[in-house]
Structure 1
Amino acid sequence: MKKVDLALHVPSFSLKKRKRIPQSFSYPSVTLVIILFVWELCGRLNLIDPFMFSWPSKIFAKAQDFFATGEVFKHLAVSGMEVGFGFAMALIGIPIGLMMGYWKKLELTFDPFVTALYTTPMIALTPLFVLWFGLETLSKVMMVFALSIFPILINTMAGVKMTDISLIKAARSYGASERQMFKEVIFPSAIPFIITGIRLAIGRALIAVVVAEMLAGNIGIGFAIRHASELFHTAEYLAYVVVLMVLSVLLTELLKKFEKKLAPWRDR
């Protein structure tokens, strides 16, 4: 009986690498479509009171209106500047976290104060920030800084502590200086934790700027949300909220891309 070479009977299409849509894109897209469909259906069936809430088509129409007039860009420019300056200042949490995570005495000295400030409801202190820094841009910048620095700092500390001790011992055995230790061992090990801290800080920064502008602002996304809510323009109010949500997602995705460039070994 002749042996059959099974390899010859494998269909040709199985030998080719088929292109597929990434699951990271397809899964959330399908979920979003289902949510929007059900939400829109509830609105069209009058199951949603338009005074109390709204639905996707009305929100999208309002978003088209203020994008067409350019009003949203005026608010985004101001809020973006405030978030940018405050967040840039908050990045000082990276070197502070590296030092506190590496030197035990420094951690013992300052960790209780960091914990106390992190758990303090900073939003409740907004009137105090306005009193200290005025009604203009500086008070919003400082609010963003105050809410953003601690997730970065605490996650950086955790990243340093999670560094493999065998790598530290190996670097020391080869005579690595403190500078080389930080550059070649500590910092690369802490990168995923730093990126996580920055991702958490992005959300807190947006919360800070919106709350500060709602309470003490005459321009910006927070002011626009407050103004629309005071007039009971629910669809417009939610349209601005959706703009913030989309912006937050875009910033997070850009950060993920940056992490892949900075730490390619983490791409799994």
Structure 2
Amino acid sequence: MQKAEISETIPSSAIRNRSWKIPRNILYPFVTLLIVLTVWEVIGQLNLIDPFMFSWPSKIFVQAQIFFISGEVFKHLAVSGMEVGLGFAMALIGIPIGLAMGYWKKLELAFDPFVTALYTTPMIALTPLFVLWFGLETLSKVMMVFALSVFPILINTMSGVKMTESSLIKAARSYGANEAQMFKEVIFPSAIPFIITGIRLAIGRALIAVVVAEMLAGNIGIGYAIRHASELFQTAQYLAYVVVLMVISVLLTELLKVFEKKLAPWRNS
């Protein structure tokens, strides 16, 4: 009797709210992916896809199992990861440069045309030149990653500084804030979302850079593995390596989103 009375006093809405639900940002993409893979697999099983030209999920999964079990993929990932890591770490110099160019107008006027020109230049076309300058080893890939990654970070950081509300700057000045305090307390926090966006864009460009560089001038790495599989017309293996790259890119992007929530919690509210 007592239990019945207690259950009656609990609102049904509270019981529903306590029930576990899958977040929509996970559920919706999962359902979309499941539908796409199912349709894709059915088309493949009906022999509507030429395996020489393309492949389908089950065959790609089998190939992925093979190179994961053999450990071959980890060898390539280790090399590509090191090259991306070094190049990307160097590209973070775009943050202080972007802060400076966004804050001091004269710096922006002096260098913005060159930044724009370099950003819009198809750096991939310069890969042979990078190989000529830095050789066939790791350095040429690192410099390619740096060249493609630095400008999205720099430009977005500069935009973040310029988007800082003038009322915040005036308030800081009225309280006697010096230049260092202005950067630390007002400008940098305001630019954080833009910096994170620049880093997210740069991740994709970094992966493109390392893959293209390894495809053109490499004997190890994910780019080399993709080129090798394509030369042997192993389409399923080729696509399996591409899927690995896609998964890594998504995971890095999601980690950045979590990092952004820690650094800029006010943006979510």
> For the superposition of Structure 1 and Structure 2, which TM-score range results when normalised by the shorter chain?
over 0.9
Give the AA of the match of 2:138. T
Aligned equivalents of 1:47 and 1:103: distance in 2?
A: 60
Q: In the TM superposition, what whole-angstrom CA distance separates every residue of 1:153-194 from its partner, at most 9, and x where no partner exists?
A: 000011001000000000001110100000000000000000
Deviation at 1:20, TM superposition (A): 1.7
Deviation at 1:12, TM superposition (A): 3.0
Hey, which bits of structure 1, 4+ residues long, moved more than 6 A?
Answer: none
1:158 aligns with 2:159: yes
Residues 1-268 of structure 1: matches in 2 within 5 Å? 12-16=11-15, 17-18=17-18, 19-268=20-269
Normalised to the residue count of structure 1, the TM-score between the two structures is 0.95
Aligned equivalents of 1:13 and 1:71: distance in 2?
A: 54
Partner residue, 1:6: none
Aligned equivalents of 1:114 and 1:230: distance in 2?
A: 37
Count, aligned residues? 260
Q: In the TM superposition, what whole-angstrom CA distance separates every residue of 1:104-154 from its partner, at most 9, and x where no partner exists?
A: 000000000000000000000000000000000000000000000000000
> In structure 1, the residue corresponding to 2:176 is in which secondary structure?
coil
Structure 2 residues not aligned, in runs of 5+:
1-7
Give the AA of the match of 1:190. A
Q: In the TM superposition, what whole-angstrom CA distance separates every residue of 1:235-254 from its partner, at most 9, and x where no partner exists?
A: 00000000000000000011
> In structure 1, the residue corresponding to 2:156 is in which secondary structure?
helix
> In structure 2, the residue corresponding to 1:181 is in which secondary structure?
helix
Structure 1 residues not aligned, in runs of 5+:
1-8
Partner residue, 2:4: none
Normalised to the residue count of structure 2, the TM-score between the two structures is 0.95
Aligned equivalents of 1:160 and 1:15: distance in 2?
A: 44
Deviation at 1:13, TM superposition (A): 1.8
Deviation at 1:10, TM superposition (A): 9.4
> In structure 2, the residue corresponding to 1:21 is in which secondary structure?
coil
Deviation at 1:15, TM superposition (A): 2.9
Partner residue, 1:4: none
